[in-house]
């Protein structure tokens, strides 16, 4: 009776099918070149309309705290399966009648097609300029966007990077919100367009995003450990060459957006990763206070949740793995604040993380950027 077909033959796809037996599908995430466990997966099931299937994972608990994200329109829109539960190694799905293709993932996948749609929606705008940072190892164009004051004479420059770890897709929706905040006709948008030039690299690990890799703890080195003198990836090499030149003495702030682990401490609230230098930690806390006061979106943020250097996973032994983007950027002349944010995949202090709330958090970041830089400049 089984004519169920499961595949991952689309951008971002990732799954290994072990067995399909009646209504039970046994499967696991494809770790590829990841060192140790990680939990990203993204597949499509066809031929199951009207049936109820059990999906059972064999490699740990890669189902997040709101269950799988589900798309009934081939990945255009997503919803979580449930309210807050716990991580799990299985889920059950009742396929609606007529649901010929249903996509499931650990999160709400965001690939180049999403970015292209976003850019098309923005349309031509005098404060927006698209470019190519470089080609990836596999020859893909790596996007770069400049937004804000583009005439070469801004008061300050800000660099924004995302997907150093390619699986961390929820951060991409925040990038959209941040860009929107520059283009909106309100106080923040007008001030940012008058004073700030922002450079955005939306997919630092472009091949990983499109091919559905984990990216986190990639061997021999992940993209966010590749800012020592000899970068092995074209994207990190291009960023480390471009930023000092592009700065022109005005690069004041860098912002690197990530998603954390699946659940528990440090994984279910938004936070900044504390830098080791006290003066930088002070600026992170100051920006955090401003962000806390700027919040209008649904995702809570409290500067008290920032993770100081030396606590939990944020320790000096990571330095042995290679230099991260924010650590590298904090050493650039003129940079006053180099920070990284962790945005949970599903649950932020009880609030649901989804495309809309993560975008709204990006707009909160834009408002905070405005207030922080207005004070600083
Ligand atoms: Zn990350």
3-state secondary structure of 210: helix
Query: Per-residue pLDDT tens for 63-108?
Result: 999 999 999 999 999 999 999 999 999 999 999 999 999 999 999 9
CATH 3.40.630.10 assigned to domain 112-376? The reply is yes
118's CB contacts (< 8 A; 6+ apart) are 176, 179
Instruction: Please give the pLDDT value at position 376.
Output: 82
Return mean pLDDT, the chain: 97
How many CB atoms neighbour CB 50 within 10 A?
10
44's CB contacts (< 8 A; 6+ apart) are 6, 7, 8, 10, 13, 74, 101, 102, 103, 104
Kindly tell me if the per-residue pLDDT of 30 is higher than 60. Answer: yes
Same fold, 5-105 and 112-376: no
Domain boundaries, the chain: 5-105, 112-376
Kindly tell me if the per-residue pLDDT of 58 is higher than 90. Answer: yes
Give residue 216 CA to ligand 1 midpoint distance, Å: 7
Q: How far apart are CA 372 and CA 83, in angstroms?
A: 35
The answer to whether 167 touches 40, Cβ cutoff 8 Å, is yes
Rounded to a whole number of angstroms, the distance between the first and last alpha carbons of the chain is 68
Q: How far apart are CA 184 and CA 198, in angstroms?
A: 15
Give residue 168 CA to ligand 1 midpoint distance, Å: 6
Give residue 224 CA to ligand 1 midpoint distance, Å: 7
Give residue 48 CA to ligand 1 midpoint distance, Å: 35
CATH number for the domain whose boundaries are 5-105: 2.60.40.3120
* Spatial strand order in the sheet of 251-258: 128-135, 141-148, 196-201, 156-162, 251-258, 337-342, 271-272
Give residue 171 CA to ligand 1 midpoint distance, Å: 9
Q: How far apart are CA 30 and CA 196, in angstroms?
A: 41
CA angle centred on 173, ends 220 and 363, rounded to 5°? 125
Give residue 112 CA to ligand 1 midpoint distance, Å: 18
Give residue 287 CA to ligand 1 midpoint distance, Å: 20
DSSP 213-263: ---TTBSS--GGG--SSS-SSHHHHHHHHHHHHHHTT-EEEEEEEE---SS
Instruction: Please give the pLDDT value at position 320.
Output: 86
Kindly tell me if the per-residue pLDDT of 2 is higher than 60. Answer: no
Give residue 343 CA to ligand 1 midpoint distance, Å: 9
Instruction: Please give the pLDDT value at position 97.
Output: 96
Query: Per-residue pLDDT tens for 132-187?
Result: 999 999 999 999 999 999 999 999 999 999 999 999 999 999 999 999 999 999 99
Give residue 261 CA to ligand 1 midpoint distance, Å: 9
DSSP 53-70: EEEEESSS--B-BTB-EE
DSSP state of 96: P
Instruction: Please give the pLDDT value at position 252.
Output: 98
State CA 295 to chain mean position distance.
19
CA angle centred on 175, ends 198 and 165, rounded to 5°? 105
Rounded to an integer, the average pLDDT of 280-291 is 98
Give residue 367 CA to ligand 1 midpoint distance, Å: 23
Kindly tell me if the per-residue pLDDT of 286 is higher than 90. Answer: yes
Beta bridge partners of 92: 54
Kindly tell me if the per-residue pLDDT of 1 is higher than 60. Answer: no
Q: Is pTM, for the whole model, over 0.95? A: yes
| Whether the bond into 220 is cis, omega within 30 of 0 | yes
Kindly tell me if the per-residue pLDDT of 350 is higher than 60. Answer: yes
Give residue 213 CA to ligand 1 midpoint distance, Å: 13
């Amino acid at each position: 009776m089984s004519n169920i077909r499961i595949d991952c033959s689309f951008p971002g796809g990732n799954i290994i099918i072990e067995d399909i037996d009646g209504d039970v599908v046994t499967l696991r995430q494809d770790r590829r070149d990841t060192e140790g466990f990680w939990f990203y997966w993204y597949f499509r099931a066809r031929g199951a309309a009207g049936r109820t299937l059990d999906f059972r994972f064999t490699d740990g608990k890669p189902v997040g705290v709101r269950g799988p994200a589900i798309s009934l329109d081939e990945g255009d829109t997503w919803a979580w399966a449930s309210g807050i539960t716990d991580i799990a190694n299985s889920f059950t799905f009742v396929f609606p009648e007529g649901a010929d293709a249903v996509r499931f993932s650990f999160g709400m996948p965001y690939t180049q097609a999403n970015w292209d749609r976003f850019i098309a929606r923005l349309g031509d705008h005098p404060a927006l300029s698209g470019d190519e940072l470089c080609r990836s190892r596999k020859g893909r164009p790596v996007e770069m966007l400049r937004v804000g004051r583009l005439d070469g004479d801004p008061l300050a420059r800000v660099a924004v990077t995302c997907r150093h770890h390619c699986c961390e897709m929820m951060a991409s929706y925040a990038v959209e919100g941040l860009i929107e905040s520059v283009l909106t006709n309100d106080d923040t948008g007008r001030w940012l367009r008058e004073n700030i030039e922002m450079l955005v690299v939306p997919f630092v690990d472009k091949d990983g995003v499109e091919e559905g890799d984990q990216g986190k703890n990639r061997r021999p080195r992940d993209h966010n450990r590749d800012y020592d003198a000899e970068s092995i990836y074209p994207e990190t090499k291009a960023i480390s060459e471009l930023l000092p030149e592009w700065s022109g003495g005005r690069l004041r702030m860098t912002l690197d957006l990530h998603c954390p682990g699946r659940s528990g401490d440090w994984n279910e609230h938004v936070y900044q990763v504390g830098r080791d230098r006290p003066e930088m930690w002070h600026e992170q806390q100051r920006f955090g206070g401003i962000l806390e006061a700027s919040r209008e979106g649904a995702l809570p943020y409290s500067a008290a949740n920032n993770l100081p250097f030396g606590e939990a996973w944020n320790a000096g032994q990571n330095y042995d793995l290679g230099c991260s983007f924010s650590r590298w950027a904090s050493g650039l002349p003129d940079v006053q604040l180099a920070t990284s944010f962790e945005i949970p995949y599903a649950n932020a202090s009880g609030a649901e993380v989804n495309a809309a709330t993560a975008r709204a958090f990006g707009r909160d970041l834009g408002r905070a950027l405005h207030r922080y830089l207005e004070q600083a400049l």
